[in-house]
């Protein structure tokens, strides 16, 4: 009997632990997501107050941007949208005094359109100038199917541009994948611990160099794990792309897709018709990764850049930067890892004006 009781107690303890540390974090975030005490709402509130703050990067960036745009009453002359490869663009680099960076990590082309749609339907409306960071995988339907979460703002904007181009509503499957991802699990555990201990996870004084910095213009400051690496550590990160296939989801999606070409053309034409000054920003890859993509993998990186440059010529818009690091004599040590150029090298990239016919 005692043995059965012990076994039963052990079973109950294990079950309780599973519920507390695995199931609860997985299911707790939806009811909390719009509450004032959620991590994302607190970050959005800090952005709305234009405060510099420090945070752990595990959170739902897309939700933060939606909460920010929905509640923002300030009209910015310039807005930056795109992926983490555009997060460093700020007022100092671009020279824009009224600017906000709304980039989100891992953005697909649909996310770009959703961000435009959020501004289009917001109280402040569209900005006068739009800087769009375009990564080569934005031109791939494959990545969109893997990462895209259906968004009503995408539908509303495309109903204005071209209703026939609406994508399939694959919200449920993608939502479940995101809900049970390791990032979601870590983020939700942090929120639960925060609620339990009643302490802040957004700090207004720098308490630890590992935390990321969010500046008043929405741009990003990386923590010491990214910025204080030795040359050897940087090269190891970069070589992991080639040797360990890190970021393979993105790298293998560098393929031209006819539908994406057409959608980008439609979006660009619509923005120009709205009187918006459009700038495309192409962040480079480290030389080792660039050579791997172009020569070892034989992917369409240069073809995609040339298409973007021809599109820019068509609409007389500016393209800043290049996927090709050799255009600016960049070395591997000018990058944080296999995808992200350093803050130190970003002004050089930004000041490079790309022209069609110059692809290596």
Asked if the structure places residue 242 within a domain, the reply is yes
Confidence of residue 163 (pLDDT cuts 50, 70, 90): low
Q: Is the pLDDT of residue 25 over 50?
A: no
User: Which of the four pLDDT bands, split at 50, 70 and 90, describes residue 336?
Assistant: very high
- Identify whether 240 is part of a domain: yes
Q: Where are the alpha helices (DSSP H) in 121-273?
A: 141-147, 152-161, 171-179, 182-197, 224-227, 231-243, 248-251, 258-273
> What whole-number distance in Å separates Cα of residue 221 and Cα of residue 305?
27
Q: What are phi and psi of 244, to 5 degrees?
A: -105, 5
pTM of this prediction?
A: 0.82
Average pLDDT over residues 320-341: 96
Query: Over 80: is that where the pLDDT of 9 sits?
Result: no
Q: For residue 21, tell me if it sits in a domain.
A: no
Kindly state whether residue 2 falls inside one of the protein's structural domains. Answer: no
5 lies in some domain: no
pLDDT of res. 195:
52
28 falls within a domain = no
**Domain span at residue 244?**
35-350
Residue 152 lies in a domain: yes
Band (pLDDT 50/70/90 cuts) for residue 333 is very high
DSSP three-state, residue 70:
helix
pLDDT in tens, 266-288: 999 999 999 999 999 999 999 99
Please state the domain count of the chain.
1
**CA–CA separation, 108 and 32 (whole Å):** 26
pLDDT at 4: 56
Is residue 141 domain-resident? yes
């Amino acid at each position: 009997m005692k043995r059965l009781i012990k076994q039963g107690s052990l079973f109950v303890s294990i079950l309780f632990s599973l519920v507390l540390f695995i199931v609860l974090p997985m299911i707790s975030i939806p009811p909390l997501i719009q509450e004032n005490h959620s991590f994302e709402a607190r970050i959005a509130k800090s952005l709305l107050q234009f405060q510099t703050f420090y945070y752990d990067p595990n959170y739902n960036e897309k939700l933060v941007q939606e909460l920010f745009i929905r509640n923002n009453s300030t009209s910015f002359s310039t807005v930056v949208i795109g992926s983490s490869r555009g997060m460093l663009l700020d007022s100092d680099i671009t020279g824009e005094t009224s600017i906000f960076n709304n980039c989100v990590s891992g953005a697909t082309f649909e996310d770009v359109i959703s961000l435009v749609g959020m501004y289009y339907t917001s109280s402040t409306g569209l900005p006068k100038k739009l800087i769009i960071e375009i990564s080569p995988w934005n031109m791939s339907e494959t990545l969109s199917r893997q990462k895209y979460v259906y968004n009503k703002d995408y539908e509303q904007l495309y109903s204005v541009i071209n209703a026939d181009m609406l994508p399939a509503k694959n919200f449920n499957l993608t939502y479940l994948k995101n809900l049970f991802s390791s990032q979601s699990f870590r983020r939700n555990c942090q929120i639960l611990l925060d609620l339990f201990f009643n302490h802040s996870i957004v700090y207004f004084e720098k308490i630890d160099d590992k935390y990321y910095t969010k500046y008043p213009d929405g741009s990003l400051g990386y923590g010491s794990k990214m910025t204080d690496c030795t040359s050897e550590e940087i090269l190891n990160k970069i070589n992991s792309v080639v040797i360990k296939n890190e970021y393979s989801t993105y790298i293998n999606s560098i393929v031209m897709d006819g539908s994406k070409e057409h959608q980008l053309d439609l979006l660009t034409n619509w923005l120009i018709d709205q009187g918006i000054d459009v700038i495309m920003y192409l962040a480079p890859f480290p030389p080792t990764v660039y050579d791997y993509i172009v020569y070892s993998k034989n992917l369409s990186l240069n073809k995609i850049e040339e298409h973007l440059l021809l599109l820019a010529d068509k609409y007389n818009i500016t393209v800043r930067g290049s996927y090709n690091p050799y255009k600016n004599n960049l070395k591997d040590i000018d990058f944080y890892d296999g995808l992200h150029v350093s803050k130190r090298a970003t002004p050089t990239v930004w000041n490079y004006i790309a022209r069609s016919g110059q692809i290596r």
